[in-house]
Amino acid sequence: MMSGELWLWALCALLLALWLLNFLRTDSDLTLLWAEWLGRRPEQVLTGKVVWVTGASSGIGEELALQLSKLGVSLVLSARRAQELERVKRRCLENGNVKEKDILVLPLDLADRSSHDMATRTVLQEFGRIDILINNGGKAQGSFVVDTNMDVFKEILEVNYLGTVSLTKCVLPHLMKRKQGKIVVMNSIAGILPIPLCSAYVASKHALRGFLNTLQSELYNYPDIKVSTICPGPVHSNIYKNSFTSVVTKTAEDNVLVSKMETSRCVRLVLISMANDLNEVWIAKQPGLFGLYLWQYVPLRDRLFSRMTWKKITKALDIDMGGLGSILELSDRAALGGKDSVQEEARYFGSELDLVLKDLGSNTRSKLRSYGFKQVAPLT
């Protein structure tokens, strides 16, 4: 009897060890990991669907379009840059299982909420239905709270949160009428964790998570309308090109958070989560994924997490904190203000101005040069 019990305990210990080993190597939460092993394949579920992807001109959105096109879906590609959307369309036609008639390029500005209803009607007129809306559009930001212009908060929330809510509300009545469909939102681990230097971005992602959880609860009587919140960690994408302070945000994430995941792998996991109707998934390489579990379940997480990340951020940036605040403020002014606003801010920098100009990103540099700051050389 004892021998049998020992064998049982040994087997349990072995299975637990194997599970822990696999967890340390995985890049998704346990539910998504299980779905990848034993769940439905995207090829079985998504083929033939009408899928609307926002933010489709680059990064995760572009990769979503490419992988979906190989499944033989009807695609609606939206973003602000029409030329980039046409480029993505050509890639889908060359590499996917779609024809010209299967792809609609529909330029869209998430911040222009007045255009969302007309855009929805255009999609319905073209394809007759919408099966899946993937809200992927968004904008990044990086600065201390004390240094962040309120206009930055306003614009980040307008694009990342209100724009997504608006488009979802436009599509939702159609899904409710058909009593089926999927609403997928590319959120972020920033919707769960506090990320220093990204207060506006983090706030917008936390707001999205709350909105989607509430929406899911309100769709109780519509069991075939699925709401999915996708929370990826750092992924190779172009989100920093549209960031207010790209040099700071990119430096912090490159050196502090976790190693980046390949976009193709992230998108494959997204499609698996869609095929299996998962409500919320976490996608990140280790140790980022472990950090999510730590934040979710471990007491004293606030002090532990903040101390670890803050020390690494200051070391990674490797610049004086006063100089950093100046960089962030000038970058915000260049992004949102005009020439007078930037020049007024520059007067307060004094001897720090050379340091500030040295650490600015390419977008801010071009803006400042147009405002007459000839000492700001282009990045080489």
The CATH code of the domain that includes 34 is 3.40.50.720
Q: Give 139's pLDDT tier (boundaries 50, 70, 90).
A: confident
Position 48 in a domain: yes
Higher pLDDT, 369 or 35: 35
Going 183 to 76 to 243 to 112, the CA torsion angle's sign is: negative
Q: Cβ(123)–Cβ(104) under 8 Å?
A: yes
Asked if residue 21 belongs to a domain, the reply is no
Asked if residue 5 is part of any domain, the answer here is: no
Q: Say if residue 293 is in the same domain as residue 245.
A: yes
Backbone angles phi, psi at 134, to 5 degrees: -110, 105
Helix, strand, coil share of the chain (percent; to 5): 60, 10, 30
Domain count, the chain: 2
Catalytic residues: 201
Same domain, 211 and 355: no
Domain presence at residue 115: yes
Low-confidence winner among 28-32, 213-217, 336-340 (lowest mean pLDDT): 336-340
Same domain flag for 185 and 93? yes
Do 152 and 105 belong together in one domain?
Answer: yes
Q: At what angle do helices 321-336 and 339-346 cross, to 10 degrees?
A: 170
CA distance 289 to 282: 7
Residue at a domain's end among 301, 327, 349: 301
pLDDT: which is higher, 96 or 357: 96
- In 50-159 the beta strands, taken as DSSP E runs, fall at 50-54, 74-78, 103-105, 132-135
- Could you tell me if 247 and 355 lie in one domain? no
In-domain check, residue 348: yes
Domain contains 267: yes
260 located within any domain: yes
Residue-wise pLDDT tens digits, 276-335: 999 999 999 887 787 787 777 775 555 555 555 555 555 544 443 444 444 445 555 555
Other beta carbons less than 10 A from residue 336's beta carbon: 16
* pLDDT attached to residue 128: 97
- The SS3 assignment for 223 reads coil
170 and 30 in a single domain? The answer is yes
Same domain for 210 and 328, yes or no, is no
- What is the structure's pLDDT at 175? 98
pLDDT value for 13: 79
In a shared domain, residues 361 and 255: no
Distances (CA, A) of 223 to 175, 181, 227: 11, 10, 10
85 and 191 assigned to the same domain: yes
271 and 339 housed in the same domain: no
Say if residue 124 is in the same domain as residue 246. yes
Among 188-192, 237-241, 277-281, name the most confident range. 277-281
User: Where does the pLDDT of residue 341 fall: very low under 50, low under 70, confident under 90, or very high at 90 and above?
Assistant: low
Q: Bigger pLDDT: 74 or 239?
A: 74
Instruction: Report residue 61 as tokens.
Output: 């959105």
Average pLDDT over residues 82-89: 96
DSSP 23: H
Q: Is the pLDDT of residue 14 over 90?
A: no
Mean pLDDT score of the chain: 80
Within a domain: 2: no
In terms of domains, do 221 and 345 share one?
no
| Entry pTM | 0.76
Last residue of a domain, one of 254, 271, 301: 301
CA angle 248, 250, 253 (to 5 degrees): 105
Range of the domain at 338: 319-370
**Poorest-confidence range of 32-36, 115-119, 165-169, 269-273?**
32-36
